[in-house]
Amino acid sequence: MKKIFVNQVGYLKNNHKKAVFNFKPSSFTILDANENCVFEGTATHFGKDSISGEDLSIGDFSQLSTTGGFKVIADGVESHCFSISDSCYDKLLKNVCKCFFYLRCGSGLCKEHSGIYYHKPCHLKKASVYGEDVQPVDVSGGWHDAGDYGRYSTAGAVAVAHLLYSVRFFKDLLCVKFDIPEEKCDNGLLPDILAEAKVELNFLMKMQRENGSVWHKVTTFSHAPFIRPEDDTEELFLFDVSSLATADIAAVFALAFTIYKDYDISYANLLLERGLKAYKWLKENPNPLLFKNAEGSNTGEYPEPEDYSNRFWAACALYEATGNKEYYNDALLQKENIMNYDGTASEQGAHRNPLTCFGWADVAGLGSLSLFLRNEDNDICLIAKEQFLSEASRLKNNAAQNGFNLCMTKDDFIWGSNMELLKYLMILTIENKIKPDESNDALITSGLDYLLGCNSMDTSYVTSEGENAFKNPHLRPTFAANIPAWPGLVSGGPNLGLQDEIASALPKDLPPMKCYTDHVQAYSLNEITIYWNSPLVFVLAGLI
Ligand code: G3I
Ligand code: 9MR
Ligand code: ZN
């Protein structure tokens, strides 16, 4: 079927703008809301690319800078509507941020701010420490991880870190209001983004044991059926501590200290104290303490094959927060471990610019961000900057291989492919700060265009954002309440692995970009998570 793919949300007034056709239009026109023609252009034939499986043509209309609502027409085919304006992503950013609020666990939701998405307090029972005969522990609060009700320390730490680094790099984010309850601080009110991040930081503090180590996760033994959060009353378990979780929270607490100290000094000091306590445990326990699910338990595992990047991040973040050279020296040692590691199970594969990784597993890139923020030309910074540059040029090459100018390759279409993309857009955003380059801008824009509908599924992967936004996330609370999903949720997206029953019933040999269906039970394609939303906050904050 002939289609015209566009960014269904819109384009910034003075930025790149393109439509992609899966046919060869003789010419194309753009109509405004009154059906008046405001632009005419000819498309350039790109040809067939392997990630979309389509024969594509590209229509550039960057020159059009009239604001308003528009659609593209060619050979009798119409695109979805989109807007052009400097504020076209403002609502999107607010919605993406508000999702963390709706995902709050415990008694964090109030009717005033959650409307139809309100649910009663949930998961307040104390959690049993799995395999130990000790008193159950209160670990209430924080955010549900995803479509499931688990709360996982590494995933949570990384999601908050994306938000907090966004704030460090793009101060304007502090002014964004997204309708959540007010939270007081020393000199008035906390900015919304910090009030929301604090919810998860408070929970992560509860996940720390007396000796400084951190439980990897708190979940029921098995995933709940599709019921409301308050109806999920099975016993909660704190599963083993891991050096992964301990290092990640040491890092995120140190990072949080650098921000909250300007708002609430006693809270900031508490964060630093807890971060140092976690770090002390890490130093006393130098061997990796990795994580495996308990026999028979099927909740998220978040496994990692080593803990070098986690320890690296912790050392970098503490160095940035304290200036103590001891942490820098630790970071140097961990950097060697990272560079020498040749595991194949690692998130971005071995030796591929690991100091740029921002995922839930490989987190060395977050360490690099802390070092960049310290603004010293030390050895690690120099190497990290080389890696960001090298990664940006690799991404540029990737984008030249397909008609969407998308910086991904076939290998990126794994579970959560939209996060693979968003991590790349974070890298390009940072690279633009280090060394501004027009071609990085173009790649960031194309990446966002892809996420918001300019893709061969013709689908916006953010709920309620675009005429053909996906509607059926793998998400328990809204499905159980039989209401539409709330706006601003990022779908995991196409995944060649097709790792669930619905996905595995899709036609075989689909091109990577089409390994997707908007089905509520397709959890390997269409779940949502906190750490798929959080990198979008970073990217939008950078763009706006
Ligand atoms: O790292 C390998 C790479 O080397 C290989 O080339 C590629 C191709 O198979 O796979 C990569 O591993 C992937 C891994 O994530 C690392 O990204 C696996 O295929 C993929 O199955 C795995 O998916 C993870 C999934 O859990 C299953 O473990 C997702 O990243 C992760 O986001 C997801 O997390 C779940 C939680 O467990 C539970 N809560 C919901 C959440 C989102 O679905
Ligand atoms: O709903 C679960 C989702 O959050 C996880 O990402 C996924 C993988 O851990 O598992 C989902 O739960 C499924 C379970 O693993 C198998 N039975 C069906 C469950 C979904 O209804
Ligand atoms: Zn809950």
Average per-residue pLDDT for the chain: 97
Residue in 32, 437, 441, 518 annotated catalytic: 518
Question: What would the pLDDT profile of 430-454 be if each residue is shown by its tens digit?
Answer: 999 999 999 999 999 999 999 999 9
Q: Quick check: CB of 148 below 6 Å from ligand 2?
A: yes
**Burial class for 76, CB neighbours closer than 10 Å (0-12, 13-18, 19+):** exposed
For residue 31, the number of C-alpha atoms closer than 13 Å in the C-beta half-sphere is: 14
Q: Quick check: CB of 473 below 6 Å from ligand 2?
A: no
Question: What would the pLDDT profile of 90-118 be if each residue is shown by its tens digit?
Answer: 999 999 999 999 999 999 899 999 999 99
pLDDT at residue 350, as a whole number: 43
pLDDT at residue 352, as a whole number: 82
Please, what is the end-to-end C-alpha distance for the chain in angstroms? 35
CA dist., res. 129 & res. 122, Å (int): 19
Could you state, in order of their start, the residue ranges of all structural domains in the chain?
1-88, 107-393
Q: Residue 345 — pLDDT band, cuts 50, 70, 90?
A: very low
Q: What is the mean pLDDT of residues 409-424?
A: 98
Q: What is the mean pLDDT of residues 208-213?
A: 98
Q: Quick check: CB of 148 below 6 Å from ligand 1?
A: yes
Question: What would the pLDDT profile of 251-302 be if each residue is shown by its tens digit?
Answer: 999 999 999 999 999 999 999 999 999 999 999 999 999 999 999 999 999 9
Q: Which mutation among 362, 414, 502, 504 tests ligand 1's pocket best, with the greatest number of atoms within 8 A of CB?
A: 414
Tokens of 129: 């420490």
**Cβ distance 214 to 291 under 8 Å?**
no
Report the nearest atom of ligand 2 relative to the CA of 147: 4
**Cβ distance 413 to 384 under 8 Å?**
no
CA of 218 to the centre of ligand 3 (A): 11
**Burial class for 382, CB neighbours closer than 10 Å (0-12, 13-18, 19+):** exposed
In the chain, the percentage of residues whose pLDDT exceeds 90 is 97
In the chain, the percentage of residues whose pLDDT exceeds 70 is 98
Q: What is the mean pLDDT of residues 327-340?
A: 97
Greatest Cα pair distance in the chain: 74
Identify the residue whose C-alpha is closest to ligand 2 atom 15. Answer: 298
Residue in 119, 144, 216, 474 annotated catalytic: 474
CA dist., res. 501 & res. 517, Å (int): 12
Question: What would the pLDDT profile of 159-178 be if each residue is shown by its tens digit?
Answer: 999 999 999 999 999 999 99
Q: Report whether pLDDT(150) > 70.
A: yes
SS3 track for 97-148: HHHHHHCECCCCCCHHHHHHHCCCCCCCCCEEECCCCCCCECCCCCECCECC
**Cβ distance 12 to 54 under 8 Å?**
no
What is the SS3 assignment for 180? coil
CA dist., res. 479 & res. 18, Å (int): 35
Of the listed ligands, the closest to the CA of 291 is: 1
pTM, full prediction: 0.98
Q: What is the mean pLDDT of residues 136-140?
A: 98
Q: Sign (positive/negative) of CA torsion 345, 347, 353, 356?
A: negative
Cα–Cα nearest to 2, from 402, 456, 447, 374 = 456
Q: What is the mean pLDDT of residues 184-212?
A: 97
CA of 56 to the centre of ligand 3 (A): 45
CA of 143 to the centre of ligand 1 (A): 20
107-393 CATH: 1.50.10.10
Q: Report whether pLDDT(201) > 90.
A: yes
DSSP code at position 32: E
- The region that residue 35 occupies, defined by phi over 0 for left and psi between -120 and 50 for alpha, beta otherwise, is left
pLDDT at residue 179, as a whole number: 98
Cα–Cα nearest to 122, from 137, 144, 100 = 144
Identify the residue whose C-alpha is closest to ligand 1 atom 23. Answer: 415
The H or E element containing residue 533 is helix 530-543
**Cβ distance 466 to 9 under 8 Å?**
yes
Cα–Cα nearest to 408, from 379, 449, 374 = 449
Q: Which of 5-14, 152-161, 431-440 has the lowest mean pLDDT?
A: 431-440
Question: What would the pLDDT profile of 51-86 be if each residue is shown by its tens digit?
Answer: 999 999 999 999 999 999 999 999 999 999 999 999
Identify the residue whose C-alpha is closest to ligand 2 atom 12. Answer: 223
CA of 327 to the centre of ligand 2 (A): 39
Q: Report whether pLDDT(180) > 50.
A: yes
Question: What would the pLDDT profile of 471-505 be if each residue is shown by its tens digit?
Answer: 999 999 999 999 999 999 999 999 999 999 999 99
CA dist., res. 192 & res. 329, Å (int): 36
Identify the residue whose C-alpha is closest to ligand 1 atom 20. Answer: 415
Residue in 49, 148, 240, 391 annotated catalytic: 148
Paired strand residues for 184 = 189
Q: What is the mean pLDDT of residues 396-409?
A: 98
Q: Residue 525 — pLDDT band, cuts 50, 70, 90?
A: very high
Distances (CA, A) of 113 to 99, 102, 182, 191, 511: 12, 9, 11, 16, 41
Identify the residue whose C-alpha is closest to ligand 1 atom 11. Answer: 347
1-88 CATH: 2.60.40.10
Backbone angles phi, psi at 406, to 5 degrees: -95, 130
Nearest 5°: CA angle at 194, between 7 and 157?
A: 80
Which positions ≥6 away from 361 have C-beta within 8 Å? 154, 302, 303, 304, 309, 346, 347
Cα–Cα nearest to 494, from 52, 43, 4 = 52
Q: Report whether pLDDT(343) > 80.
A: no
**Cβ distance 470 to 526 under 8 Å?**
yes
